[in-house]
Chain A
């Protein structure tokens, strides 16, 4: 053990200088170097990479009891582990520099060895005093005054001084200012994702005054396009898509959330609220629709409906995805490591992981979405229109009136009843009987219906006759069924009653007794069902289980081995209190399992009421049934008793006539009957309004929180200790008074003292503007993440961001107004050598346009772009057959405006995303990512050259240039060039393009010219010469493919 008392317990370590690597000679004892390697920037990352696997936060994997991630406080480590000033005497250094492979750390087989230079660095660090501190990002940001610089005139914002200071240290001067044209194009692309229009180019230039650039920036920040551009980034973080993912990959309309994001950016919702709403908008006091809608963020993960999947396995997967996305987006931390064991590098134990997990585990959801219906997985938010709301209100008020009127009649003595009871009928009938099946015989596979002979029951498989409660009954195998077409097709507004005698011969966890539905859990199907759960009768009406259903269950199991009559009713109210279960004629004591049904229970295709079996569910194995009765009324208690004993109504007349009042009202009294009828009409009307509203998956807290557990090895079925919600303490403890729900988590996350949230957010804004974050690994601020290039600058921006009230627009404005941003992007070879990746910002940002920007730019330049904001996603052109060859679905290509909307509105099918976007490095939207790679491949060349969308844009731009760009081809070329690149072409460029134009014009055959000038769906402009248009199309396509257009400079 590497403990204080026995530092060398791992084995005798005889130190001889000649056993060390010769690099020790580089710093002879006693000489303190002026250039000590920085602990945070250099030493800790080395230790993290090469040592933390075995000597880090993971307690289970820790070797020799040695932990290096917490630092080197003397009272926490062995005294000779690190002796400041004395590397040779420090065990750490001895072991990493030992020549003997037996002694040497990391061990030979470890994947991350230390290079001689790195060992040297660690030695030097110890030699210089071994200063250390906690991992930088877990310490709150500190405000360090901006450093002194010599070229103060260059600086516009305080942030520029941080940049300039480092440049000066490296002996570099900043680059000159970008030309106004290039700067304007750059800022337009960065703030709006669109190139400047020619109008904007003409009105925002230095000739318009010294503040031309500020005015341009302010104008851009006020456009809707700003929110759209920012939303693209956020959608990718949030793994937004228009389908569920996994193999069947069904459509799911989540665009209302996307539209909310656009709106939030455009209205400049402060970032702390922006993320609070998304994490926990449903829990805010007086949460409105927007706050609830925002929580869809947590539901954008993939979901499956694959047949046979185990529901809990996938539910756990979804919760884990929420945690991972929260961790990456809000905290800049990788959490997945801690799902199976303590985190290897960052201070997050497995228990802490599952405490975070508990926050996101709190909703009434299923691990599978519906296979046979298009029900929105619960919890879901209804997005009714104001008009629908109005209609609903009217119906609700009508319903209240009738319900109270019925209630009143229920309780007042009625003259009519007095008259009726004074001269009662000689025998009583129970009206509303639709089906009466006694299972006495099976004729031609049919079961006689005494109530409606035209609707007999039918059999599937071979249920056999057995002794019944009276005469014969049916014996069920569990795989066989009896079904009853035409009887029992009830919606949720229809009162009905079903009664059945059954005999349980075999104890089971679950039996399907009777249902009208297509299938169960792996299909999320709709309908009603009577089950036995551990022998207890459960009765439910289901739209989507578990979050949109009403369900009750008897508190006691049914007796087995004997006949028992079970009668279930629904009064059509869609409330759990409107359901009942009676056993042998008496109301059973029940508990309410679910009480929220707001949508139809009749979807999912044909399915007759069935006894004894259900697709992929557990049937009534070895059970007997008899005497099935179906009524289209909710029977009164007395009637139910009568069904059992055959005499209850008569007995009441003799013994307690007043007890017949409910029976009288329900079956005899006209006025009451009319009211009942109207009640049902209004309920149907309410249902049809509700069924017509769209829904979106959101978060909604369970009334009783689920208990969350540690899952051993991350496995859904290996439940360990129970854990309450909580956060990783080492980052920042939760206040004592914190709420234990997601709102508590959101408050913690947005606490101004939180060390990560603001840094992570500001870093991403920086990344949007400059291409690379101050922390390049914008997804990982932990031990394994990259060290910030300008730590003090990041802290200043984070603190300013918080102080500004988390003002995103102000931060974006500030970044693009800086002198750093305004630099030209061209560099000298000298700059490149010292600052190859531009991490020092020695020149302005340049980057290939994103997939979205490239297409949007082409559409904008050609004038095709339809700049409508929001709405359902659209299906622009894509090569045919791509959906079909994978899943048999047909891509519903749009027409008209749908072809020319901004790319963020393009329908994103996860299993077959828009191919051009994927080739151009768009994120794949399966899991959260915070940054894209930017590659350069021949397939990208093919997209820009040949994708009909780009060819069409070139053709339409050619037409536009021909009409609006001037009379000569030269002027037209200039027009097109400016549209795509934002600048004037040089003379050489124009000459070159003119030459191309002329050659093509002279060599195109009429057929070729016609073909080219007809590319795409947009109508041709009349009156233009096809040969001219075709030649100009080739010119436009050439410009569109050129560096000036493809790159942001």
Chain B
């Protein structure tokens, strides 16, 4: 039946209490009623999904490298490309595939080898270029996917596709789906938190990337921002001390209880509970973002950048603190990987900003015993072309968007460490083995969270929507 039946709070809590993973409440705010009713069927479906597998991870930290990092200069080593540097991209390789309007009209598409030094690292022997020395040191803890591919060729559709499973705006983001499916393990923090590197520039971001689409707004990502108000409107106005706020809330509760006598609406008690949760958040969020209790060793690990709020390093550190507090889904964004021109110089900057902290996060989680049930994901919305956009010179080149193959890495969360999965051709243009589509990755990460991606659905506009649309295969080879 699609007809709404019982109210949300009771039904949901009932079935959640039966769920195999021990979790307290649904996504932040779901203690409340006053929300939309869910159907029993819907509830059972979620229950079934979450119960379907034993989860490998309880939380995800997604290090999104916005703009599309060049796999050919970081992870996907192609000596042949260096050898053929300057030669025309052969049609046997391109096979008429579409290019963007940015390089599609170039008279020449010269192959561009990476101008960086490469070495194999770790026991697994993964190739990592000199740009990422710290990442290179942890390769045995990483699971590389060299055969990622996507449908979209422009930033907006591609990043939207990655984060919501659709190129069209209006669908819930991965973090929202997971909040909706699994709820929160920490009543005092949002279950889906977003961290954006400050003052980065580059391809713009948009709040719908962490939006809840057609799911309730309670499932949308909450941005933690550097500055006075880590969460929007978190800080009380000047003149309102904690004790004053407490007194005010007590009187507010008094008013609402009087109202309850008139209206006998259970929604009133639900709202009182939300105000209490807000009050607690006002403590718990600053306590989380205040890194003054971190020892110096932390900054030796993450780098001194981590002391400056809003840097990528500070956000990685924050992500660890959020993981410690059982925040379900932490989404980082770091812009600036869109190197159409001047790649050699610019990618160095990007690498310097992110390498150490990314690796530190994995190490740190590991040493704290959190890595085993935290999935860390590193990657961008697509890869970059093996030919130069614009002129190829002895020390400069650019690369256009390339959706056909690129590299991401996973760590922890029951993924198989020291893995190199998927292969590309010797010029790094096409996948030659074990392709992993965006839908496959999303299916896999839901699987890691114990969710059957085919069963985590939401009825909307007459049909059941899911993160993976009607696609996606769990890639079991990525799992330990």
Question: Are A308 and B263 interface neighbours, CB within 8 A?
Answer: no
Most buried by A among B208, B211, B237, B281: B237
Interface readout for A767-784 with B: 1 if CB under 8 Å, 0 if not?
000000000110110111
Known: A926-B169, A936-B29, A992-B255. 15 other contacts (CB 8 A): A308-B104, A308-B400, A336-B461, A479-B106, A479-B391, A618-B107, A827-B264, A848-B34, A885-B198, A919-B232, A927-B169, A945-B275, A992-B254, A995-B251, A1034-B248
Question: Are A912 and B207 interface neighbours, CB within 8 A?
Answer: yes
Which of B221-229, B343-351, B428-436 participates in binding chain A?
B221-229
Question: Are B247 and A247 interface neighbours, CB within 8 A?
Answer: no
Instruction: Give bound CA distance, A1010 to B239, whole Å.
Output: 8
- Give every chain A residue within 8 A of B282 (Cβ-Cβ): 942
Question: Are A942 and B234 interface neighbours, CB within 8 A?
Answer: yes
Question: Are B464 and A249 interface neighbours, CB within 8 A?
Answer: no
B17 at the interface (CB under 8 A from A): no
B203 at the interface (CB under 8 A from A): yes
- 16 A-B pairs whose Cβ atoms sit less than 8 Å apart in the complex: A307-B102, A345-B462, A784-B462, A886-B204, A933-B35, A936-B29, A939-B190, A942-B282, A945-B233, A945-B278, A946-B234, A946-B235, A948-B237, A992-B251, A1041-B252, A1041-B275
- Give every chain A residue within 8 A of B101 (Cβ-Cβ): 307-311, 521-522, 616
Which 3 A-B pairs rank lowest in CB-CB distance, beginning with the nearest?
A308-B100, A784-B462, A478-B107
- Give every chain B residue within 8 A of A921 (Cβ-Cβ): 216-217
A1019 at the interface (CB under 8 A from B): no
- Quick one: given A337-B462, A936-B29, A940-B274, are A919 and B217 in contact (CB under 8 Å)? yes
- Give every chain A residue within 8 A of B214 (Cβ-Cβ): 929
- Give every chain A residue within 8 A of B204 (Cβ-Cβ): 247-249, 886-888, 911
A989 at the interface (CB under 8 A from B): yes
- Give every chain A residue within 8 A of B238 (Cβ-Cβ): 1008, 1011-1012, 1015
Question: Are A937 and B207 interface neighbours, CB within 8 A?
Answer: no
Question: Are B206 and A912 interface neighbours, CB within 8 A?
Answer: yes
- Give every chain B residue within 8 A of A784 (Cβ-Cβ): 2, 459, 462-463
Instruction: Give bound CA distance, A317 to B270, whole Å.
Output: 42
Question: Are A937 and B241 interface neighbours, CB within 8 A?
Answer: no
- Quick one: given A118-B1, A522-B101, are A780 and B35 in contact (CB under 8 Å)? no
Query: Taking the nearest CB of chain A, how far is it from the CB of B70, in angstroms?
Result: 16
Question: Are B463 and A337 interface neighbours, CB within 8 A?
Answer: yes
A918 at the interface (CB under 8 A from B): yes
- Give every chain B residue within 8 A of A703 (Cβ-Cβ): none
- Quick one: given A826-B262, A992-B254, are A1046 and B3 in contact (CB under 8 Å)? no
Instruction: Give bound CA distance, A96 to B28, whole Å.
Output: 40
Instruction: Give bound CA distance, A989 to B258, whole Å.
Output: 7
Question: Are B36 and A933 interface neighbours, CB within 8 A?
Answer: yes
Question: Are B207 and A911 interface neighbours, CB within 8 A?
Answer: yes
Question: Are B265 and A826 interface neighbours, CB within 8 A?
Answer: yes
Question: Are A308 and B153 interface neighbours, CB within 8 A?
Answer: yes
Question: Are B218 and A247 interface neighbours, CB within 8 A?
Answer: no
Instruction: Give bound CA distance, A988 to B103, whole Å.
Output: 73
Nearest residue (CB) in B for A368 is B101
- Give every chain A residue within 8 A of B3 (Cβ-Cβ): 45, 786-787
A568 at the interface (CB under 8 A from B): no
- Quick one: given A310-B101, A946-B235, are A924 and B198 in contact (CB under 8 Å)? no
Instruction: Give bound CA distance, A946 to B278, whole Å.
Output: 11
Query: Taking the nearest CB of chain A, how far is it from the CB of B397, in angstroms?
Result: 14
Instruction: Give bound CA distance, A829 to B266, whole Å.
Output: 10
B425 at the interface (CB under 8 A from A): no
Which of A6-14, A219-227, A815-823, A997-1005 participates in binding chain B?
A997-1005
Question: Are B233 and A942 interface neighbours, CB within 8 A?
Answer: yes
- Give every chain B residue within 8 A of A307 (Cβ-Cβ): 100-102
- Give every chain A residue within 8 A of B211 (Cβ-Cβ): 924
- Give every chain A residue within 8 A of B281 (Cβ-Cβ): 938, 942
Query: Taking the nearest CB of chain A, how far is it from the CB of B249, in angstroms?
Result: 9
- Give every chain B residue within 8 A of A249 (Cβ-Cβ): 204, 206
- CB contacts under 8 Å to B, within A901-941, are 910-913, 915-916, 918-919, 921, 924, 926-927, 929, 933-941
- Interface of B, secondary structure class, is loop
Instruction: Give bound CA distance, A345 to B461, whole Å.
Output: 11
Question: Are B271 and A1043 interface neighbours, CB within 8 A?
Answer: yes
Question: Are B201 and A888 interface neighbours, CB within 8 A?
Answer: yes
With beta carbons under 8 angstroms apart, the residue of A346, A837, A910, A913 that contacts B37 is A837
A1030 at the interface (CB under 8 A from B): yes
A669 at the interface (CB under 8 A from B): no
A129 at the interface (CB under 8 A from B): no
Query: Taking the nearest CB of chain B, how far is it from the CB of A39, in angstroms?
Result: 15
With beta carbons under 8 angstroms apart, the residue of B4, B169, B401 that contacts A776 is B4
- CB contacts under 8 Å to B, within A867-905, are 879, 881, 885-888
Question: Are B154 and A306 interface neighbours, CB within 8 A?
Answer: yes
- Give every chain B residue within 8 A of A879 (Cβ-Cβ): 229, 232-233
- Give every chain B residue within 8 A of A685 (Cβ-Cβ): none
Interface readout for B141-172 with A: 1 if CB under 8 Å, 0 if not?
00000000000011110000000000011100
Instruction: Give bound CA distance, A1037 to B233, whole Å.
Output: 15
B368 at the interface (CB under 8 A from A): no
- Give every chain A residue within 8 A of B5 (Cβ-Cβ): 836
Question: Are B169 and A1012 interface neighbours, CB within 8 A?
Answer: no
A986 at the interface (CB under 8 A from B): yes
Query: Taking the nearest CB of chain A, how far is it from the CB of B73, in angstroms?
Result: 20
Question: Are B154 and A308 interface neighbours, CB within 8 A?
Answer: yes
Question: Are A936 and B34 interface neighbours, CB within 8 A?
Answer: yes
Instruction: Give bound CA distance, A998 to B192, whole Å.
Output: 41
A292 at the interface (CB under 8 A from B): no
Most buried by B among A785, A926, A1012, A1044: A926
Question: Are B207 and A886 interface neighbours, CB within 8 A?
Answer: yes
Question: Are A885 and B225 interface neighbours, CB within 8 A?
Answer: yes
- Quick one: given A940-B274, A989-B255, are A1015 and B207 in contact (CB under 8 Å)? no
Interface readout for B24-43 with A: 1 if CB under 8 Å, 0 if not?
00001100111111000000
Question: Are B462 and A936 interface neighbours, CB within 8 A?
Answer: no
B288 at the interface (CB under 8 A from A): no
Question: Are B37 and A785 interface neighbours, CB within 8 A?
Answer: no
Question: Are A304 and B156 interface neighbours, CB within 8 A?
Answer: yes
Question: Are B454 and A111 interface neighbours, CB within 8 A?
Answer: yes
Query: Taking the nearest CB of chain A, how far is it from the CB of B95, in angstroms?
Result: 15
B7 at the interface (CB under 8 A from A): yes
Instruction: Give bound CA distance, A881 to B464, whole Å.
Output: 37
- Give every chain B residue within 8 A of A302 (Cβ-Cβ): 169
Nearest residue (CB) in B for A785 is B462
- Give every chain A residue within 8 A of B32 (Cβ-Cβ): 935-937
- CB contacts under 8 Å to A, within B398-425, are 400-401
- CB contacts under 8 Å to B, within A315-363, are 317, 328, 334, 336-337, 344-346
Instruction: Give bound CA distance, A1042 to B220, whole Å.
Output: 25
- Quick one: given A885-B196, A986-B258, A1044-B259, are A993 and B251 in contact (CB under 8 Å)? yes
- CB contacts under 8 Å to A, within B8-30, are 28-29
With beta carbons under 8 angstroms apart, the residue of B232, B251, B262, B264 that contacts A915 is B232
A49 at the interface (CB under 8 A from B): yes
Question: Are B153 and A479 interface neighbours, CB within 8 A?
Answer: no
B277 at the interface (CB under 8 A from A): yes
- CB contacts under 8 Å to B, within A931-980, are 933-943, 945-948, 951
Instruction: Give bound CA distance, A919 to B190, whole Å.
Output: 13
Nearest residue (CB) in B for A343 is B462
B455 at the interface (CB under 8 A from A): yes
A825 at the interface (CB under 8 A from B): yes
B324 at the interface (CB under 8 A from A): no
Question: Are B29 and A935 interface neighbours, CB within 8 A?
Answer: yes
- Give every chain A residue within 8 A of B478 (Cβ-Cβ): none
Instruction: Give bound CA distance, A118 to B3, whole Å.
Output: 13
Question: Are A1011 and B233 interface neighbours, CB within 8 A?
Answer: no
- Give every chain B residue within 8 A of A87 (Cβ-Cβ): none
A184 at the interface (CB under 8 A from B): no
- Quick one: given A780-B462, A1004-B239, A1043-B259, are A936 and B102 in contact (CB under 8 Å)? no
- Give every chain B residue within 8 A of A828 (Cβ-Cβ): 264
Nearest residue (CB) in B for A1039 is B255
